[in-house]
Structure 1
Amino acid sequence: MGFYYLIDKTEDSIRPRYMETVEESLNDTAHILSAVVEEQLKQNPRAFAKFQNTLHSLFSPVFENTNKRSFNAKIYSLLKTNTDIQVYITDEKGIVIFDSEVYRKGLDYSKFNDVYLTLQGKYGARSSKLLDKEGEGALFVASPIRFKNRIVGVLTVIKPKTGVIPFIEEAKRKFWRISLLVASAIAILFSLLAYLFFRPILSLSQYVTSLRKKEKAVFPKIGIRELNELGKEVDLLVEEIEGKKYIESYVQTLTHEIKSPLSSILASVELLQSHPNESIRLTKNIHEEAKRIQNLIEQMLELSSLEGKKSISLDDSILLYDLVQEVLVNFQSEMEWKSVQIFVHCENRKWELKGNRNYLYLAIENLIRNSIDFANKNDVINIEIKEGSEGFLRFSVLDEGQKIPDYALERVTEKFYSLPRPTNNRKSSGLGLSIVSQIVDLHGGTLEIQNREPRGVSVSIGFPKN
């Protein structure tokens, strides 16, 4: 219905647009013919004394010749065989002194808009019937005739609408044909999209019904990413409603993270007893696994501490560039071991912000560690410090490691949610980005995590300057 209304309104505008185009052409024609008369008077000033005769000798032969001419001009799909332009000229009182059709000569046209307005120095035009019995009428467009800096007459060019109507009707027919084709194409496309869209919804609905009935059901293959994610969220929601998700995730991850290094430590101790000559390697392994447990416990304590705080002291004045350089010192050995280069780009090293220095140090440290962990050999990590909008300083880490899967982008800041490292396929504690998120929130900042093209991840933090 709305489409038909739009088409109908557009069709109604075709006629006015055509008439405007014709009027513009008539205006040009009127001014050209007026200029011809003015040039004649300029070359022969005495001709003004016999103005009427001058006009007659100038235009009568032309229109007589034109009216006798016949031709076949195929203008697009329409055939034109004769001219229908008419001209009349009045004196400065509005009395017709020349008429290409003769019958208007001597009539007083001073009250008609084309003559009346033009004599006042304004744009004169009107739309009127040529004859009382005529249906469509004609367009009248006038131009002044000047002699010695005053208006001495008005030249009006007339175009009967009967010569324009065929073009308008043909344009309307073409418009409706195209509109029907477009409407048909839209209808077909809409039907196809509706089928492609509602079919996955139906599959998802059937799957949810199976879950509600506690039937075993396989998650359907859904081609629409958003619906696929919605289905996964339904799965997660079901798990949460059953009261298992959070507790199981917390306990299982914590148990796994501690169990793995403990098992490694126990195995190393047993091997150390039976292979004392391997003491250096085994002692190093025990130290690394113990350090891993220690880091996990420290991160859990940090996160628990942050989650219990509603606010923290933000009174430290911090030069962000200097703080980043201080953090980077601790990663020199890891950078050398992985052949990773880190470059810091800062527009102004004197940029300062108010915050908690220790917590900001911890947040930056976690972000850089994450980038190094996911980096490949010889990768380059860029750190950018820029001034953002609305008084924010933006700290960004841009690496060249593997992308974060789309389904994980919104979850990487959750507790214990971790992805395998590319070098050893091991997962971390899954607490680093959760700590960063808590610190950013306590500073009133923003955290953005995005994949880069063709590879890599961009993590950006916006800190208020004040």
Structure 2
Amino acid sequence: MPLGVRIFLVYFLFVGLTGYFVLSTVMDEIRPGVRQSTEETLVDTANLLAEILRDDLKRGTLAQSQLPELLQAYGKRSPQADIWGVRKTEVNHRIYVTDARGIVLLDSSGAAVGQDYSRWNDVHLTLRGKYGARSTRESADDPDSSVMYVAAPIRDGERIIGVVSVSKPNRTLQPYIDRSQRRLAWLGAGLIGLGLLVGGLLSWWLSGALRRLTRYAQAVSEGRRAELPRYRGGELAQLAEAVERMRVQLEGREYVERYVHSLTHELKSPLAAIRGAAELLEGEMPAQQRARFVGNIAGESERLQQVIERLLSLAQVEQRQGLEERVAVPLRELVEELLQARIRTDVKIENLLGADAVVMGERFLLRQALANLLDNALDFTPAGGTIRFSAEREDGNWRLALFNQGEPIPDYALPRLTERFYSLPRPGSGRKSTGLGLNFVAEIAALHGGELWVGNVEGGVEARLTLPA
């Protein structure tokens, strides 16, 4: 399982379970919280009514007072109140008053006058000087039909002469409970969703950063050129820098060993030729033969210089992981510049490149690559032959083709053309080059994100250099 998925799953479980438990706990607390708040209001109301009713109950004039009419009128009121989105169209309080024995003297509903309520907890406990409250279902089979009753004592000095009880049906509170739970559910779901989204983005970013670093390490281990991922500070940036330092140190050691091995291998032959010629020159010989040996020394010395220069240039390119600049380079202009410095009167050179053939890259390196290809084509083109530059656009790239008339490349040599130090004898002289030119061009092509292909075509040989447009 990918690391990013594992991070997200852990984050999902943590946020999801935490959010679920917190949300469920708060949801469970809404109902008792609303009822507790309502009970506190009923306590205040009952105590206020106890003070209002005290004198009439003490004088025994409760039935003759205006309270029965007032309670009846109260029950008929229609508030038409809009309370936080819930419409209230009727009053819901029921108020009843009992004497010291628990007999109902006054009932706002008119249903219980004369009944004995001394057994109900609200009246029973209040008459004994305790806090009296109860919750009773209007229908035994319906838990939502419960009604909350809160009572307050009516006192004459220290003596309790009656009880006033105020009730509130719990069903009238349910719309507020449902509304709060809905809002909380949406808000909680939104917060959990936002948390998961943040966790997903964090996991995606972290796994993407690690994937880029992993791809870079794999490319380095496989010997491919890759660009070091860039991070803005933090542990990832430190890790990337550490991997890059390790790559430089490891590649440096391996490259020096390979470089020295290749250099010593290629220097043996010209050094042996120079040494042999020098030893022969120490003796007496005709002037013509002496001149031939001096010429051999000069030729081999020049070859040594070419090998060293080409190896140094190749080493610089091979050690680079990216381009130092990326500018628009017109191919036709670049080829014209090269042709002015390399002129063979016995070879016809055609530049069929259009002005629109422009590639993105490092001009200096591209000039060196084309110079190597042109030198190679000139070496293998016989007198009277043709060299032709052309290009075509293909899939966002320019494919530059350099054709030269001449003998086809042997089949055994085709797969080794870009191999370091591998070279074919030049027509006429039979001499070989350093064998670094095509290898150098292939490295430059790879550095630009392109490729080099060399093969036989009708009438000669063609080198194709693919570069990004």
> TM-score per shorter chain, which class?
0.3 to 0.5
Q: So what's the TM-score if we normalise by structure 2?
A: 0.45
Give the structure with higher Rg (CA).
2
TM-score, length-scaled by structure 1:
0.45
